[in-house]
Amino acid sequence: MNNRVVSNRGRNGVVGTQNRRNLVRAQAAKKPKQRNIFEGKRPWVELVDGKPVNGPDLSCVVDGVKFPNPFVIGSGPPGTNYHVMKKAFDEGWGGVIAKTVTLDSSKVINVTPRYARMKSSSNQKEVIGWENIELVSDRPFEKMMAEFKRLKDEYPDRVLIASIMEEYNKDAWEELIGRCEECGVDIFELNFSCPHGMPERRMGAAMGQDCDLLEEVCGWVNDAANIPVWAKMTPNITDITNPGKVALDAGLEGLAAINTIQSVMGINLDSLRPEPCVEGYSTPGGYSSKAVKPIALAKVMSLATMINEKYEGKKSLSGIGGVETGMDAAEFLLLGCDTVQVCTGVMIHGYPLVQNLCAEVQEFMVKHDFKSIDEFRGKSLPFFTSHTHLVQLQKEAQERKKAAKSGLKSDAEWTGDGFTSETESMVSN
């Protein structure tokens, strides 16, 4: 951590005086009335400053930063500017990760169209896969810094996370960190995982797949940062725990996984061109939405196991990948995640989705009599093992079953109460 102090509040409220912030906050626009966007088809709860007005407590403390609920806007289009991030806070998201910023946005040039969808064959309204070829933020760095500061002035107790990415340049990383900290952000998420765009500059996944490069950059960041830092891991690698361990060994507080999976959405069989199609051409992009959840859960399970074994569970983990319901989120939490990020789900359903997510997790907690997230976080992780062990477990179970069916050895062993079951134990078919 290198002189980084993590308190119960992290960096919440570090910029300006509380009186000034209260004044700015009071002058902010009135929050919109919340509503169930699924019109009663899914559970719903009202959120006030991110906290449910009733039901089990969903708050959590991660790396010293308090979240009113574990749901965080994942870095991407839902965090592109002040207006959409304000909307996220007003609707109740526990935290917001802004779209990835770099010092020089002039090098970032997006194209349109840049998305492609995969729909269910049985229901053309249901999106099951989503590909994007979108780059990081193309907005001026100074503009994004001003909006970070404005958000923290208006929402001093809400968690704002800066997603940052740079080239292999120590000075650039240090400047980026210092400028963002001046705006009062609470956590950094390092984008080592964007699967497309600017690999020639060794950015994103190109950096996250190179453990030597990753180790050096994480060291720079760890030395420069005064707030918690998460490294966002790429799934486009054989063993995700290798770069994960490199990042944590460098002193970072936590990991986030997964980013999108490199993909080609498909070929248009009329035009014979790939999708999304820009002037007749395309490029591999990042795949997300509910279809990636099983892959995300496997990667998260591996990282959580590594964190427990090598760091005694003292590093944090933010889960990402295909979350659209509270039940999806509960699975990530059961595998050891501290927070759960949603990006594509918000693009499909809208910012009010968080109210349904919270209500559905609360229903799950009531069903199992859990009073807090800590009571079930990681509870399913011990039930993963090797295939060899599965074979051993099944063999032992079969032997126990066979022994139970062995029958009585003598007439003296018959009992009155167990007569029928004792008879059954000696039947061969």
Residue with tokens 């009135």: 30
For residues 246 and 238, give the distance between their C-alpha atoms in angstroms, rounded to a whole number.
15
Largest CA distance in the chain: 90
Q: Assign residue 120 a region (left: φ > 0; alpha: ψ between -120 and 50; beta: otherwise).
A: beta
Q: How many CA atoms lie within 13 A of 48 on its CB side?
A: 4
Q: 259: buried, middle or exposed (CB in 10 Å: 19+, 13-18, 0-12)? A: buried
For residues 223 and 75, give the distance between their C-alpha atoms in angstroms, rounded to a whole number.
24
Catalytic site includes residue 194: yes
Single out the catalytic residue among 60, 180, 183, 194: 194
Structure tokens at 319: 């889960």
Q: What are the phi and psi torsion angles at 340 (to 5°)?
A: -130, 125
Residue 177 contacts by C-beta under 8 Å, 6 or more apart in sequence?
Answer: 164, 188, 221, 224, 225
What burial letters (b/e) apply to 356-391, b meaning 16+ CB within 10 Å? Answer: bbbbbbbbbbeeeebeebeebbbebbeeeeeeeeee
Nearest to 106 by CA among 198, 9, 24: 198
**Is 2:222 a contact under the CB 8 Å cutoff?**
yes
For residues 75 and 5, give the distance between their C-alpha atoms in angstroms, rounded to a whole number.
25
Nearest to 90 by CA among 133, 141, 50: 50
For residues 36 and 56, give the distance between their C-alpha atoms in angstroms, rounded to a whole number.
19
Question: Which residues have a catalytic role annotated?
Answer: 194
